[in-house]
A and B are shown apart, each in its own frame.
Chain A
Amino acid sequence: MDVIFVPWTLCTLNAVLWQVLDSTIGLDYPTDTTFEWQSLHSAVFSTTLAFLLVFRLNRVALRWWETRRMWGVIVEQIRILVASAMEYMQHSPELRDQLVAWTLGFAVASKQLLRKDVTINLHELAGILSPDQVERMSSAKHPPLYAAGMARHVICRALRVNHEISSGEATSHSLNRQMLENNVTTLIQNIGGMERVSSTPLPLVYVAHLRTFLMIYLLSIPYLYGSSWHYWTIPNVFVLSFALLGIDGAAADCEIPFMKNRANHLDMEAYCLGAMNNVIQIMIQAKELQQQSVLQSQECSLRQTVTARP
């Protein structure tokens, strides 16, 4: 509503003005040519407007779904990365936890970047990253890239290949590092895609052309149809303007869907929260599995001890 308020009011006031002029002065229309003008008006403007409006709405819907898809991929990659880390970085719990923390930091940092917020609310990453780490991340020029860089660094430290480890472990570490690295790369690719949507609106020529035609069409309605509609001109223009401007308004509202206080924009808080809940579930499961395997191995060794005793 707020997006179309000004042009909508303008069109309605124009209809009111026409009505006042017609009532007071009495506009004299050449009735023999009115029908021809109405036909031309309908054919040229209606067709052009239909094409332009459909195109604009279609492009915006595509952009909206694209950003939603990319957020879905980010949440999905976080799940995969954390689940993989739980299995392949068991030998280094501290670094594994750091990787998980920076991965979640990436999601919140992405939200910050897309919203163009100056800082990150410390409470959003409470219990995950320390205030100092959040401060350093949010003050970086590109916070998600900072978080991804930290995650990559942690992966390299945990799965380092050197002369102290066996060749089997070295092969395993190399493969796992490559896999985790791919997850981090996918995260970066998707935030890049959303930045592209955020920084590049639909080319101005399409929007400018559409709005020019739209305004000419709506402002000319009272002068062409007023002689037939009389007092109905004002409500007709009011409704018609709302219908057509509403399409453009919906497109404008959803074009860059990253703001906080718009109902149609992406609920990025919910995505971050969802990812965090998923991570907690994955970690609890990993903890239980690890406990089970430890207990099973202890049970086996104890049974062996019992059977070995005379």
Chain B
Amino acid sequence: MSQLATSLPAYISKDVEEASETSSLEMREGFHLLVSMIQHEETRRKALQKADKGIRTSVKSNATWLRTVFVWRVSSLFITGIFDRIHQSKTLIPSNHRNDRWT
């Protein structure tokens, strides 16, 4: 835009600059949602982060065996804290999901 403005006569370049300022202002005004979304991006990201320490967050690599080791780790944690976990799973699982379980 500035290249165009400098290559034109003075009375025209002034018009161009004014016009470009006006249009960019209109652009910002026309995209309220975009501005708002960018402003609140961090809030949304934090809110939508998965709360559990699942496979996706605990194992960074895509290696299948690493994921399997993670499952073993979770299983061993389950065995050590068995009663807490049973209680937790009962409180976390909604009743309609629970009816198909052994427990």
Residues of A whose CB lies within 8 Å of any CB of B are: 1-7, 93-94, 97, 100-101, 116, 121, 123-128, 199, 201, 207, 211, 252, 255-256, 259-263, 267, 269-270, 272-273, 276, 279-280, 283-284, 287, 290-291, 294-295, 298-299, 302, 305-306
Contact = CB atoms under 8 A, between A and B. Distances in A.
B37 A280 contact: yes
A294 B23 contact: yes
B102 A128 contact: no
Instruction: State the 7 A-B residue pairs at the shortest beta-carbon distance, nearest first.
Output: A127-B40, A123-B47, A97-B33, A126-B40, A263-B54, A127-B36, A93-B30
Interface string B6-28: 00110010011001100110010
Contact of B24 (A267, A279, A291): A291
A127 B37 CA distance: 5
A116 B96 contact: yes
Given A2-B86, A93-B30, A298 B19 contact: yes
A6 B44 contact: no
B60 interface: no
B41 A280 contact: yes
A109 to B, nearest CB: 14
A306 B34 CA distance: 36
B39 interface: yes
Nearest to A7: B102
A116 B102 contact: no
Contacts, number: 142
Contacts of A298: 16, 19-20, 23
A4 B48 CA distance: 30
Contacts of A270: 48, 50, 56
7 contacts: A1-B75, A123-B46, A262-B54, A269-B48, A290-B27, A290-B30, A298-B16
A273 B54 CA distance: 17
B45 A273 contact: yes
By CB atoms of chain A within 10 A, which of B4, B39, B100, B102 has the most? Answer: B102
B18 to A, nearest CB: 11
A4 B51 contact: no
B34 A260 contact: no
B23 A291 contact: yes
B102 A6 contact: yes
A2 B103 contact: yes
A306 B12 contact: yes
Nearest to A125: B44
A97 B32 contact: yes
B99 to A, nearest CB: 8
A126 B89 CA distance: 30
Contacts of B38: 127, 280
A295 B24 CA distance: 10
Nearest to A256: B97
